[in-house]
Amino acid sequence: MATLSGAFRRGNAAHSALVQIAFVLGLGFLVYEAATLALAHMREHHIPTDFGFWNERAGFDIDPHLIAYSFTSTYGRAFFVGLINTLVVSAVGVVFASLLGFAIGAARLSTNLVIAKFAGFYIEAFRNVPLLLQILFWYNGVLKALPAPRASLAFPGHIFLNDRGLFMPAPTLSPLGLSLPVFHGFNFIGGMKLSPEFVALTLSLVLYTATFIAEIVRAGIAGVPKGQGEAAAALGLNAVQARKFVIVPQALRLIVPPLTSQYLNLFKNSSLAVFIGYPDLVQVFAGTVLNQTGAAVPVITVTMAVYLFVSLLGSLAMNLFNRRIAGAVH
């Protein structure tokens, strides 16, 4: 492609340089004008333009918080609570979406017709309905409609589900053991509590993302030439060995790049938490903190920066990979 990108340079180097300088100057002028205007507006309306609010008292509560936090904590601390909640929901989502996605993708390729059709039905049903609708459905339609703690649904292994969330046993460090949720008064104490917001968000993210992962897995396995399986059979490998040593390693090459995109999508989609009030980064920081401080520009900038940082890491890996593939085509 070098010959083509030279189209600008080939004619006249000076001309190309001039065009570029004009472009940069024009862009710079636009940005400068917009920034000046924005600053003037913000000064006029007394909108904070810096991070002065960072160490001020937040005065609102966040539940759940995995690091020490109370309403006397600072806005800066609230930011980290939100960030950690985003990371937790994304990590749990990625793990379960991968497990479900690979299982469904394999089921889709099963020779068992019923199982394959089942997997196909699940994929079409959940992929073609907006994620937000699924989140609202699980939250408002299912979890909020559950009975109160007194009439919890009880599952084996001391797991209880009610309109306050999911209660289950939790390991304890000192003394080493297991803390079981026990019904006491009006609610459960002990064990681990997962809020309905967390459960609804994770469940929707997993069910939605798994459909895309399943299709990626299917396409990856289908993309390995048939001859590879036949070659493996000719070498005397049985079906399991052929899959393990020949098919899957080649399929992974096709699977990993789009899989990375799906992980990043899940990470970004976790921001839909704002619709049901799970305190993730967007809900806490770009929501509550922004509303209380009015510092739109700093808050939005930091929020964007966090998402960008993670996404760019993924994108960088993908582009390196893409360069290898694209190089192989030509």
Partner 1 sequence: MTQAFVRAAPAPQLPPPKQADGRVAALSRNLLGSPKSLALTFGALVLVIWAVPDLLRYFIFGAVWHGDAVTCRATDGACWPFIAEKLPYFVYGSYPLDQRWRVDLVFAVGGLLIVWLLAPRAPARRLGLWLAFLVYPVLAFVLLYGWPALGLPRVASDLWGGMLVTLIVSAVGIVVSLPLGILLAFGRRFGPLAVRLTSVAFIEFMRGVPMIAVLFMANTMLPLFLPEGVEPDRLVRPLVGVALFASAYMAEVVRGGLQAIARGQNEAGQALGLRFWAIQRLVILPQVLRLTIPAITNTFIGLFKDTTLVATVGIFDFLRTVDSARLDPNWSGPTITPTAYAFAALVYFVCCFSLSRYAQGLERRLAAGYGRDRFQ
Q: Which residues lie below 8 Å from residue 109, measured CB to CB, with a gap of 6+?
A: 116, 218, 221, 222
Of the listed pieces 226-234, 235-243, 245-253, 274-282, which binds partner 1 according to CB under 8 A?
Answer: 274-282
Q: Smallest distance from the beta carbon of 211 to partner 1, in angstroms?
A: 12
Measured in whole angstroms, the distance separating CA 11 from the mean position of its chain's CA atoms is 47
Q: Smallest distance from the beta carbon of 174 to partner 1, in angstroms?
A: 39
53: number of Cβ within 10 Å: 19
Residue 220 Cα distances to 14, 106, 318, angstroms: 48, 11, 16
223 contacts partner 1 (rule: CB under 8 A): no
34 contacts partner 1 (rule: CB under 8 A): yes
Number of helices (H) and strands (E) in the chain: give both, helices first.
Answer: 13, 8
Measured in whole angstroms, the distance separating CA 112 from the mean position of its chain's CA atoms is 32
Query: What percent of the chain is helix, strand and coil (3-state, nearest 5)?
Result: 70, 10, 20
Q: Smallest distance from the beta carbon of 127 to partner 1, in angstroms?
A: 8
Q: Smallest distance from the beta carbon of 264 to partner 1, in angstroms?
A: 8
Q: Closer to partner 1 at the Cβ: 5 or 72? A: 5
Token pair listed for 273: 């938490």
219 contacts partner 1 (rule: CB under 8 A): no
Token pair listed for 58: 């937040």
Which residues sit at the interface with partner 1, rule CB under 8 A? 1, 3-5, 7-9, 16, 19-20, 23-24, 27, 34-35, 37-38, 41-42, 47, 110-115, 118, 124-125, 127-133, 136-137, 140-141, 145, 268-269, 271-272, 274-275, 282, 286, 290, 296-297, 300, 303-304, 307-308, 310-312, 315, 326, 329-330
